[in-house]
Structure 1
Amino acid sequence: MAAGGGICMALTPLSESEPARKMAILGAGIELVAVRGVEESDSILSEPYHEGRPGKFMRAAKACTTSGLGLAVVAGRWRAGRVASGTLLAAGSLLTRFGVFEAGIASTKDPKYIVVPQKERLAARVGEVRSVPR
């Protein structure tokens, strides 16, 4: 929503771009909340989002999305503000995708990101089976 609204906001005439601006603002807010939830979870699976190349992508994405959101709210009533905001929101969305992709690659290179969660799920299932009355 953030990227789609941002691109539409930047490319449509000023008089017709208010719905795109609203969609971009809502989408950017949702994206920032979702990314924060993934990054700040206590799970071992959130580690790759903070380190190395994925961490750089995610930090840049957060900066672009936050800046684009701020510009959409504050300067979104003017053409230059909409173009700058739309560009930042599209870049933030793209960088988020790259960050998630790179985090997936990083997590496959280290077996702990696969083995530890599997062992935790297995232990939880074994505990469920033992607690079922026979």
Structure 2
Amino acid sequence: MVPKAEFRSYYGLPVLNQPTWKAPDIAGYLFLGGLAGASSGLAAAAELTARPDLARAARIGAVGALAGSLYGLIHDLGRPARFVNMLRVFKVTSPMSVGSWLLAAYGPQATLAAASAVTGRLPMLGRAAGIGAGVLGVGVATYTAALISDTAVPVWHDGRRELPYLFAGSAAASAGGLGLLAAPLSQAGPASRIAVAGTLVEVLAAKVMQRCLGPVAEPLKDGPSGRLLRWGERLGVTGAVLGATAGRRSRLAAGVAGAALLVGSACTRFGLFRAGQKSAADPRYTVRPQREHLELRTDQRP
């Protein structure tokens, strides 16, 4: 009998065009954008529950993270005018368009809230801006999941159902880490709770994503990307547990927990970015799922 044909690309070359995004810029943009958005949400919650020191630290951290995120995005675009050009139209079906307008609405409010917290001036306006930034921060922390899922990159596209939850959990964990690192122990309770909740969501979403992806999940487990993701999970869980236990009584433990959560979240974003690049470069992760889908459709025919 003739051996069963194998679906391969010509000469083993990639089927997809490689993403032109650079790891330091866009992976950093994914991490810092999530940190900024979730920190604004934490700041709004702290403001509404009379925790001014936590609110101030989260507001300042959000603006710092936003500045770094925008720098990475604009540096990857090459010219600042390209970001401005994206605001010429609003297209609800484009994650890039929606995200650009979301950043344009979020940035001024987050900046005003932080400026008010630092100077002590215009407190009512700063409070209103902080709450507005907190509401928009939810979208800022998660829209990048839709952005990278709306591509042909196998790991990102096939994980489109789980990535928003993973990004939301990672962003919440990093914001909680920032709060534990910067706020006094007496006001760090919400930061510890959001870190635990975010880490739990992140870990569960990552496990579900790996199971649903099947063989395409290999880049999430192997190589440099797999190591980054494993370290992200270990540091996140360690930071969340430490912050919820010893971090409630010790300033040093809270600081260590906060640093672990921040580094863990960064490892997760960089690991996901590298895994996507690896899956786009290897034709197996494009051709093999196509073959499986074709066989499934053939078996389902009457």
Q: TM-score range by the shorter chain?
A: 0.7 to 0.9
Q: CA deviation at 1:42?
A: 6.5
Q: Identify the residue that residue 97 of structure 1 maps to in structure 2.
A: 269
Instruction: Map residues 46-125 of structure 1 onto 2, 5 A cutoff.
Output: 46-77=217-248, 78-125=250-297
Q: Identify the residue that residue 21 of structure 1 maps to in structure 2.
A: 192
State how far apart, in whole Å, the 2-side matches of 1:97 and 1:56 are: 12
State how far apart, in whole Å, the 2-side matches of 1:81 and 1:40 are: 34
Q: CA deviation at 1:39?
A: 3.3
Equivalenced residue count is 130
Out of 201, 208, 214, which is 1:30 matched to? 201
State how far apart, in whole Å, the 2-side matches of 1:44 and 1:23 are: 33
Structure 2 regions of 5+ residues with no counterpart? Answer: 1-171
Q: CA deviation at 1:40?
A: 4.4
Listed one character per residue, the Cα deviations across residues 7-52 of structure 1 (whole Å, up to 9, x for unaligned) are: 1121112221111111111111111222222334561111111211
Letter in 2 for 1:103: A
State how far apart, in whole Å, the 2-side matches of 1:51 and 1:87 are: 25
TM-score of the aligned structures, taking structure 2 as reference length: 0.40
State how far apart, in whole Å, the 2-side matches of 1:28 and 1:115 are: 34
Distance 1:122 1:48, change over 3 A: same
CA contact 2:180–2:243 (8 Å) conserved in 1: no
Moved over 6 A (4+): none
Letter in 2 for 1:57: L
Structure 1 regions of 5+ residues with no counterpart? Answer: none
Letter in 2 for 1:110: D
Looking at both structures, which has the greater relative contact order when contacts are Cα pairs under 8 Å and sequence separation is at least 6? 1
Q: CA deviation at 1:125?
A: 4.1
Instruction: Indicate the structure (1 or 2) with the bigger Cα radius of gyration.
Output: 2
Q: CA deviation at 1:118?
A: 2.2
Q: Identify the residue that residue 6 of structure 1 maps to in structure 2.
A: 177
Quick one: percent identity of the two aligned structures? 35
State how far apart, in whole Å, the 1-side matches of 2:256 and 2:207 are: 24
State how far apart, in whole Å, the 1-side matches of 2:255 and 2:270 are: 23
State how far apart, in whole Å, the 2-side matches of 1:86 and 1:112 are: 39
Distance 1:7 1:31, change over 3 A: same
CA contact 2:192–2:240 (8 Å) conserved in 1: no
State how far apart, in whole Å, the 1-side matches of 2:271 and 2:232 are: 8
**Structural RMSD (CA):** 1.8
